[in-house]
Amino acid sequence: MKPLLVIKFFLAGMLLFICSLIASNLSFLQESELDFVKLARLAQVPSKISMNEPQPTGEDKPIMEIRLHFYDNAVDTTRFNAFLKLVRKMKQSGAKVVLIPLPMEWAVYEPTQKAIQDMEATNVVVFGKTVQKMVWDYQAQTYKLRPAKNHYVRHPTFDRTKISWGVLSMLWREIGFLELVPLGYLEEYGNELIPDVSVEILRKYEGLDSSAIIRDVDEVRVGSHVIPISSDGIAYAKQNLWERSYRSYEVLAQYEKNGGLSFLHWERSRQTYVNVPDSTFTMYRNKIVVVSWYDPTDRDFYLTWSYAGYSSILQSILDKTLMTRSEAWNTMIVFLFVVLSAVTFLYVRSGIAIVIHVVVGGGSLLTSIWLFVSHSTLLSPMPGIVTLLLCAFVFPVVRVVHERNSLREELSSLAAEKKRLEDEQASEKPKMK
């Protein structure tokens, strides 16, 4: 009986292995990965952050942040003049690279073109080009990050002026969980791969040539910096919002109607904005300055927080703490869970086997959270959990059907044996007479 049951379990296990791999790639299960990210992020939130700790000066950070605010109904010429003034101020302060996110739509004419050329002449600016990052997935009925391959981006300027620019591909999938395409978009009228602004900023920061940006199967390299990517060409990063809120030095640049540009800093102890003294601008020396801007009348409101995401991405690249997605482990985990489930239901009573499955599933979830929080590794628990659920349903059914068939065969054998004995007894009675 056992050898036949083992063969049945083996065949059922092969089918379960294939079904589990297919189920793990379904869109709605892939989207459930974001629910896991939410859970993992909750496990990472600190219990308490002191508001009385010393306020940072920013001098120990390689990346600084500036928010640029406009007055109502600012026109494109006003915006680009403000960009130019800010870039020149940062150049004067010794900044090595300044990120300027361009508007999604703006009037390309002589004043704005001239402002872009003047900013490029400072040799510290990197322009960010906005792209449509989301596409509608009809199967999952939700928006998803556009695949990184075979999509095009248009040059920021009408006359294709030679400038340092990149794609603003960062997408905030969940609070504190970022996705981006380091190197995957093609320039619209050519075959040139356009990097994400974070990659272009690193290249400029390190003083490297564009040939130093190399894409391999599982990573993008910028000199000595390595950016791990998934099979779709997507990189992942975490953002500690609470650390940014309490441990970063932020400057607000206010562009006035008279053309002036004032710099303010939030003083935590006084709970108000104060003017930034000229002596403080030395903190930008040899730094990367990530600029965001906000116009109350503009629909590009996402730019008000995009700088925070790119600061985290750049810091993670420099610290070598970008997230790694362990896609290759999914197949091995599914295989091991199928084998474990088969052995459990083969040699243990069904009730105990179910308890073991619950413990293993919970352990898988806790392990994934631990890897996410402590080792910046994205290993989704969904393939393993789906496998355990399928196995917990199929293997007991296979065993019950097998035992029922075995019992039928045994009863049939006993009935045949009984009939044979009755026939023998019936044949012996005439002889005795």
Q: What is the DSSP string of 256-292?
A: -TTS-EEEEEEETTTTEEEEPPGGGGGGGTT-EEEEE
Residue 73 has pLDDT above 80, yes or no: no
- Residue-level pLDDT at 358: 93
Q: Quick check: 99 and 307 in contact, CB under 8 A?
A: yes
Residue 50 — pLDDT band, cuts 50, 70, 90? very low
Q: What span, in angstroms and rounded, lies between the C-alpha atoms of 145 and 227?
A: 18
Compute the CA torsion angle 58, 59, 65, 67 (nearest 10 deg).
70
Calculate mean pLDDT across residues 385-413.
85
Classify residue 58 by its DSSP letter.
S
pLDDT tops 50 at residue 303: no
pLDDT > 90: percent of the chain: 21
Query: What average pLDDT score do residues 241-265 get?
Result: 67
Alpha helices in 166-219 (DSSP H): 197-206
Sequence-distant (≥ 6) Cβ neighbours of residue 243 within 8 angstroms: none
- Helix extents (H) in 207-252: 241-247
Of 222, 194, 217, 190, give the one whose Cα is nearest residue 328.
217
% pLDDT > 70, the chain: 76
For residue 198, pLDDT beyond 90: yes
Alpha-carbon gap, residue 57 to 307, rounded angstroms: 18
In this structure, the number of other CB atoms found within 10 A of the CB of residue 113 comes to 16
The contacts of residue 271 (CB under 8 Å, 6+ apart) are: none
Amino acid at 367: T
Rounded Cα–Cα distance for residues 161 and 156 (Å) = 8
Q: Which of 86-100, 249-263, 284-298 has the lowest mean pLDDT?
A: 249-263
Chain position carrying tokens 């917990």: 392
> d(Cα 236, Cα 27) in Å, to the nearest integer?
19
Q: Determine the Cα–Cα distance for residues 347 and 24; give it in Å rounded to an integer.
A: 28
Q: How many CA atoms lie within 13 A of 233 on its CB side?
A: 19
Q: Which residue matches tokens 């925070």?
A: 308
Coil, strand or helix at 163: coil
Residues whose CB is less than 8 angstroms from the CB of residue 72 and which lie 6 or more positions away in sequence, other chains included: 295, 296, 297
Residue with tokens 């690279």: 97
Cα 285 from Cα 267, distance rounded (Å): 22
Closest by CA to 241, choosing from 377, 42, 97, is 42
CB–CB of 87/313 below 8 Å?
A: no
Q: pTM higher than 0.75 for the full model?
A: yes
Question: Residue 407 corresponds to which tokens in the numbers above?
Answer: 């019992």
Dist. CA 278–CA 246, nearest whole Å: 24
DSSP classification of residue 196 = B
d(CA 189, CA 154): 8
Burial zone of 54 (CB within 10 Å; 0-12 exposed, 13-18 middle, 19+ buried): exposed
Mean pLDDT of the chain, nearest integer: 79
Residue-wise pLDDT tens digits, 329-372:
888 999 999 999 999 998 888 889 999 999 999 998 888 888 88
Separation of alpha carbons 293 and 304, rounded Å: 6
User: Which has the closest alpha carbon to 247: 15, 30, 65, 26?
Assistant: 65
Separation of alpha carbons 70 and 79, rounded Å: 8
- Beta-carbon neighbour count of residue 403 at 10 Å? 12
Predicted local distance difference test score (pLDDT) of residue 182: 92
